[in-house]
Amino acid sequence: MIKPKSCCIVGGGPAGMMLGYLLARRGVSVTVLEKHADFLRDFRGDTVHPSTLIALQQIGLLQRFNELPQSRINRLSVRMGDVVQTVADFRGLAPFDYIALVPQWDLLNLLAEAAKQFPHFTLQMQHEATALLHDGDRVIGVNARTPNGEREFRADLIIACDGRGSTLRDSTSLTVEELGAPMDVLWFKLPKPPASNGELFGVIGAGTAIVLIDRNDYFQVAYILPKGSDMELRSAPLEKFRQTLASLVPELKDSTAAIQSWDDVKTLEVKVDRLKTWHQPGLLLIGDAAHAMSPIGGVGINLAIQDSIAAANVLAPVLAVGGEPNDALLSQVQRRRLPAVKKVQALQLALQNNALSAVLAAKGEAPKIPAPIRWLLKFRILRNIPARIIGYGFDREDVE
Ligand SMILES: Cc1cc2nc3c(=O)[nH]c(=O)nc-3n(C[C@H](O)[C@H](O)[C@H](O)COP(=O)(O)OP(=O)(O)OC[C@H]3O[C@@H](n4cnc5c(N)ncnc54)[C@H](O)[C@@H]3O)c2cc1C
């Protein structure tokens, strides 16, 4: 009888949970190690784009996903001074003409519950991988800290899905290309005033920009500031920060009182990078562990899920019949995904190093979108182009 090969996935984020589900569904024996006790963590992004909705539909989970509490947006707009400009318009796109905003833990719980139906799937919470195990040059497992002490997990293939601060990536000598970012982001919640019109709302001011993500009863707010200026901002009185917010978005003036201390404001150090090679014998890295994305476009979750689909499409047919996860196979995953990652990162870098840098450097008055671009954006068909890129991405993978 053929014995399928085994996989150990480190990290139960969007990449790890989706890959765990997809491999187990194809009969591959999978163990996912997640260091936290649950998926209820701080805000890490909620934007489920059409590319992910298509994947959920293809694996038969869309109906259950639709039952999760969510809001939907079909336009991304920015306000500069008193001008509001829609920059991406999903209306008219098919099969999905919206982005769903769903707390990430709900999506991860859904995938975990669905994966547990497969006999080959095991999810180990509170299991933190601490080091790779080697046999010569080949990775053969990981050491993990568990509630019952240190334990070894051995598998035919280890897949690192442990995010932008990947411990497993740090344990290798793989080369990382740092692509840089001119900004950091502060995250916090503000109560939502009654009127909201189904658009993701960016507000551009002089020296800063904010994004308001509608989470039904409150806004998750991203405040963008020049890289490294976080400490300076935090050393000023909190009231000054509240006033800056109120001057950017006057309708949030009353809501700013909800920020009671700087502890309510979390800093995300933005980094954009990618590995030159995503694999070595016995080890594959995907998602943020292989390429940390800029927050521009809110594409990180969706790219991580696309990586999982590509990895499952390449690996499952081989592993399920006992085939070797050799370097040639692992490099196919990178070859399928790298072009899309490069294209998205190139667009993000172009936007952050030009438009966003100009906003961050502006003094006095908020910069304006150049008139020719505003004229082009009058046409929905042209506003559909950025929406298609953000929502459907490049080189979209279908679940095989
Ligand atoms: C503040 C913030 C806001 C964001 N907003 C958005 C957004 O709006 N839209 C969007 O698409 N993207 C957003 N992103 C990016 C998005 O979260 C990531 O791109 C995406 O989650 C990457 O998925 P992943 O599975 O590769 O990694 P992660 O989501 O980082 O998941 C990694 C998982 O591995 C676990 N882990 C880490 N180390 C270990 C270990 N040693 N052992 C075991 N488990 C481990 C972690 O607990 C985590 O569950 C945001 C990120 C941040 C930080």
Pocket residue to mutate for ligand 1, from 212, 288, 299, most atoms within 8 A of Cβ: 288
Q: What are phi and psi of 324, to 5 degrees?
A: -80, 130
Q: pLDDT (tens digit, 9 = 90+) per residue, 205-218? A: 888 899 998 877 78
Q: What is the pLDDT of residue 321?
A: 94
Q: pLDDT (tens digit, 9 = 90+) per residue, 19-54? A: 999 999 999 999 999 999 999 876 677 899 999 999
In this structure, the residue with its CA closest to atom 9 of ligand 1 is 298
Q: What is the pLDDT of residue 223?
A: 94
Query: Taking residues 180-193, what's their average pLDDT?
Result: 91
Reference 157, options 335, 300, 28, 332; nearest CA is 28
Q: Is 109 exposed, middle or buried (0-12, 13-18, 19+ CB in 10 A)?
A: middle
Q: How many angstroms does the Cα of residue 177 sit away from the middle of ligand 1? A: 19
Q: pLDDT (tens digit, 9 = 90+) per residue, 258-272? A: 999 999 999 989 999
Packing angle, helices 300-319 and 50-58, rounded to 10: 30
Q: What is the pLDDT of residue 4?
A: 82
Check pLDDT > 70 for residue 197: no
Q: How many angstroms does the Cα of residue 253 sit away from the middle of ligand 1? A: 31
Instruction: Give the chain's mean pLDDT.
Output: 93
Pocket residue to mutate for ligand 1, from 8, 40, 162, 219, most atoms within 8 A of Cβ: 162
Pocket residue to mutate for ligand 1, from 146, 220, 301, 302, most atoms within 8 A of Cβ: 301
Q: Are 156 and 325 in contact (CB under 8 A)?
A: yes
Query: Taking residues 231-258, what's their average pLDDT?
Result: 92
Q: How many angstroms does the Cα of residue 162 sit away from the middle of ligand 1? A: 8
pLDDT band at residue 251 using 50, 70 and 90 as cut-offs: confident
More confident residue, 64 or 212: 64
Q: pLDDT (tens digit, 9 = 90+) per residue, 126-152? A: 999 999 999 999 999 999 999 999 999
d(CA 279, CA 77): 39
d(CA 310, CA 201): 32
Q: How many angstroms does the Cα of residue 13 sit away from the middle of ligand 1? A: 6
pLDDT band at residue 199 using 50, 70 and 90 as cut-offs: low
Q: How many angstroms does the Cα of residue 312 sit away from the middle of ligand 1? A: 19
Ligand 1: list residues with CB < 6 Å.
10-16, 33-36, 43-47, 128-129, 161-164, 167, 187, 268, 287-289, 293, 295, 298-302, 304
**Which of 16-30, 152-166, 372-386 shows the lowest per-residue confidence on average (mean pLDDT)?**
372-386
Q: What is the pLDDT of residue 42?
A: 66
d(CA 394, CA 292): 17
d(CA 47, CA 54): 14
Check pLDDT > 60 for residue 254: yes
